[in-house]
Structure 1
C-alpha cells in the first residue's frame, strides 16, 4: 500500500531565541511523559521585559509530589539543551491547578507562548 506523505515543513513552528533558530514543536516531543512533570508551559520572553535585551526561554513546570524539584530542573535543562542547544530557565514552583489556569484553562491550553514585546 502507498502511504500518504506528510509535508513536514508545514508542521514546523520555528522562531529565533537568543539568535538560535528553534523548532518549538520539539517541546511536544521532550516534555510529555517526562517523569516528575504533571503540567508544563514554555514561555519566550525578553529579559527584564526590555525589547532590546536578550531573549529568555522559560519552562514552567508543575512537578509531581514525589519529584525532587532540583533534580527535575537539571533533567529538563539537560534534555532541552541536548535537543535545541539552548539553556532554559526552569521554574518548578508551580502547583498543577495554578499552571493549568495560566495556560488558559479547560478550553485550549497554551503550551508555548511568545511573551516578547512586539517591536
Structure 2
C-alpha cells in the first residue's frame, strides 16, 4: 500500500511522520512542547536522558513536526524546540492508499522565537 503525503506547507522529510508517531519518547516530547523549550528542559519534563532527548528531537525535526528556534531575548543563547503543526490526519484515499496530512500553524505569536539558524 503506497503512502502519500499532503500538507498545507511543504516541510521536508514527511516520510518520517508515522515513524515518530509510533515512538513513545517522541510522543512525550510533542506533548510537552506547548511552548519553546531547551533540550535540558525537555529532558527534565519527559524524564529521559539528554542523549535520548537529543536523538528524539533530531527525529522530530527531520520529520517536520518540531522546529528549532532561537533563544529568548535577554537570555543565554540556547536553541529551543517547539511543535510545528496544528493537526495530523491519517486517512485512506479513494484508491485505498494511506495518506498523511500535516497542517502547519500560521500562528505568528511565535515570531519572537524565530532566528536564522
- Taking structure 1 as the reference length, what is the TM-score of the superposition? 0.33
Determine which structure has the larger helix proportion and give its number: 2
- Taking structure 2 as the reference length, what is the TM-score of the superposition? 0.33
Query: Which gives a bigger RCO, structure 1 or 2 (Cα 8 Å, sep 6+)?
Result: 2
Determine which structure has the larger strand proportion and give its number: 1
